[in-house]
A and B are shown apart, each in its own frame.
Chain A
Amino acid sequence: MGLKEKIAEEYTAQNTDRKSDSPISKKREEAYQHFTKLGLPSNRHEEWRYTHIRNKLPESLSLLRYPIPSSPTFHSFDSLKAHRVVLVNGIFDAALSSINEQKGLTITSLKEAFETKQEIVEKHFGELVKLNEEHFAALNTAFATDGVFIHLEKNIEATLPILIVNLSDNKGESFSQSRNLIVLEQGSSAYVVEDFQNSATAAFVNHVSEIFLAPAASINLTQLQTETRHTTAVYTTEVELLRDSQFTCTCVSLEGKLIRNNVNARMRGENAEAHLFGLYYGTEDSLIDNHLLIDHIVPNCQSTQLYKGILDDESTGVFNGKVFVQPDAQKTNAFQSSKVLLLSDNAAINSKPQLEIFADDVKCSHGAAIGQLNKNELFYFLARGIEPAQARALLTYAFANDVLDKIKLEELRVYVEEKLKSRLNITF
């Protein structure tokens, strides 16, 4: 039995005991119908040309829930003052989570929100994902049962950051399809961290976050894939920005067998801003793929895509940065930059800036650079007695530094800096 047949069987099994007339069930069914048409992407599909994910998914994989280990081990960011939400194999773990009370702020499992926050959930769930185009988002939507639900009422500022640790943990393989739904009402703001970790021998993660920003709402999102060895993952983030809202996303991918990040922001209200920053580091035969989309639909919005890649050994990077400026989106200000440092002759990058501009009064700039360490800079280090390996590591770190600076939560930034230093074998 192929993976697709298996998915069909498991979908049926999962849905036999469900009421089929609820809007959520209808959405799931719609998603499933799209998925059966789309299947899993082959590399003949333009968006998956360089990312051969199909061969990375074992046919033995079961999509149904894996047993939850009783005491999973993970990095818990103890020094960070935050709401802590822990998902284990995609399932909310109440015992490991600690959520403080704040008026106007709701943080619950998505499973609970399906029951208790029905109205908000039904209004938003599955509304941003492109079910007819995105294979994995459709698959996730068809199976989504749990994850994190965050809701901020009007003008509420979440006083503490919200840390979501999304852990894959199993003795053998682990599979999870977590789903986060984040709804920020007018004028509210939050700092959210989505941290992915894997302690299973092999994990497949298909994650989707949908983020709704009402007028003047703002979210600062940090996504970490720094403890994700042996992980094959598709992380999809879909954002809708209304008037005056702000979305800042910093995504750091330091480990993983195959990581695909989709970050799609749609500017639907004027004066909105979306800033996407990313750092990825590939070693061995890993593949890290960042697919970004900023869709300027209305006038007077600003956007940034600033991504830096470090590729060593036989690793591969993929960068696809789409900036669409629709005919109505006059006075758009869009900036894109992709810089890649190739540290090995066997590393490769497939870089595709994709600007499609249909308005005439806009400011759009983009730059793509692929290079190696600068010889003059390297010599300066050698001339001070620093050994070549250490000199290269320090210069590589320096290359990454301005993206790390975008992480505004200090404890988190220091954690990522230390991670990168240790990955680069920097010894002080």
Chain B
Amino acid sequence: MLTIKNLTVAINGNQILKNFNLDIKAGEIHAIMGPNGTGKSTLAATLAGREEYEVISGEITYKGKNLLELAPDERAREGVFLAFQYPVEIPGVSVTNFMKAAVNAKRKHLGLEAMDAKSFLKLMKEKMELVEIKKEMMSRSLNEGFSGGEKKRNEIFQMAMLEPSLCILDETDSGLDIDALRIVAEGVNKLRSPDRSFIVITHYQRLLNYIVPDVVHVMFGGRIVKSGGKELALKLEEKGYDWIKDEVGELV
């Protein structure tokens, strides 16, 4: 699904990712953990194609294509989905109209006709139930005045609507109470499938109680310094990151 080789990325001239490597197969869930400022969100933004992030070297292959050659909107239509850490508030654009534009952009890309109003509403209703979103939210302005939990649920709802192949969850759990966390995680679990992969970026192990990863990576200093099974997350929760720092320190 996704292969990242020797990726080095800078923002404002500062290298954040340094010779980063990652390989994700279809259907896998990879958790990426690590302290603040180690490049987790930079990875997410680079995959989504934010222009402020400058790729200095390395390659990203997504479904056999060179991802770096695609514009952000092309990547999205090809099935890359970023669930934002801070979903943007857009006054004046309703959730419904936003999704209509997104769904139809993807359908156009696939050579399909725009969805008729009835089927679209049916699809919305179905996906809203997945993350327990109330109908009233659909006519509200996108994320405007939404609570933290509503914003994150809305991200997962959009993910469900667009049926991506590669889902990147950038700290989707941050700022969520336990009920919201459970709803979001259950939504994600319902979207698991053999041809859909996930990158789950998080600080905390508790999300991984609900979304059980195949692989856990620890990032430090712009690259992955340790990988393991789900038990690695538990160890991090228990012992913190210092022991990793010590290990890495020895390596450096």
Contact = CB atoms under 8 A, between A and B. Distances in A.
A382 B91 contact: no
A395 B93 contact: yes
Given A379-B72, A428-B97, A428-B101, A385 B106 contact: yes
Contact of B73 (A391, A397, A400): A391
A390 B91 contact: no
A393 B108 CA distance: 18
Nearest to A374: B88
Contacts of B100: 428
Contact of A383 (B72, B93, B104, B114): B72
B92 A385 contact: no
Interface stretch (B32-40, B76-84, B131-139): B76-84
B102 interface: yes
Determine chain A's interface SS by DSSP, over half rule.
helix
B102 A380 contact: no
Interface string B84-98: 100110111100011
A13 interface: no
A401 interface: yes
A95 interface: no
Contact of B92 (A379, A383, A390, A401): A401
B206 interface: no
A382 B71 contact: yes
A379 B90 CA distance: 12
**Considering residues A379, A384, A394, which has the most beta carbons from chain B within 10 angstroms of its beta carbon?**
A384
A386 interface: yes
A101 to B, nearest CB: 39
Contact of B162 (A384, A388, A399): A384
Contacts of A387: 73, 105
B7 interface: no
B80 to A, nearest CB: 9
B88 A377 contact: yes
Contact of B48 (A376, A383, A394): A383
B158 interface: yes
A402 B92 contact: yes
Given A384-B102, A384-B162, A385-B106, A395 B90 contact: yes
A399 B105 CA distance: 22
A383 B76 contact: yes
Contacts of A379: 48, 50, 72, 88
Given A382-B73, A385-B73, A377 B104 contact: no
A402 B88 CA distance: 18
B123 to A, nearest CB: 15
Contacts of B97: 394, 428
Contacts of A400: 92
A1 interface: no
A386 B92 contact: no
A382 B80 CA distance: 11
A398 B140 CA distance: 12
A20 B97 CA distance: 61
**Considering residues A376, A399, A400, which has the most beta carbons from chain B within 10 angstroms of its beta carbon?**
A376
A380 B100 CA distance: 15
Contacts of B73: 381-383, 385-388, 391
Contacts of A377: 88, 90
A390 B114 contact: no
Contacts of A381: 73, 98, 101
A385 B162 contact: yes
Interface in B157-214: 158, 162
Contacts of B88: 376-377, 379-380
Contacts of A385: 73, 76-77, 102, 105-106, 109, 162
B93 A398 contact: yes
B90 A384 contact: no
Given A386-B101, A402-B92, A427-B104, 15 more contacts: A379-B50, A380-B87, A381-B101, A382-B49, A382-B71, A382-B72, A383-B48, A383-B72, A384-B76, A385-B77, A385-B106, A390-B101, A390-B105, A394-B98, A398-B93
Closest 9 CB pairs of A and B: A398-B92, A401-B92, A385-B76, A384-B102, A382-B72, A385-B77, A380-B88, A382-B73, A398-B93
Interface of A: 376-377, 379-388, 390-391, 394-395, 397-402, 427-428
9 contacts: A379-B88, A380-B84, A381-B73, A384-B158, A385-B102, A394-B93, A394-B98, A395-B90, A402-B92
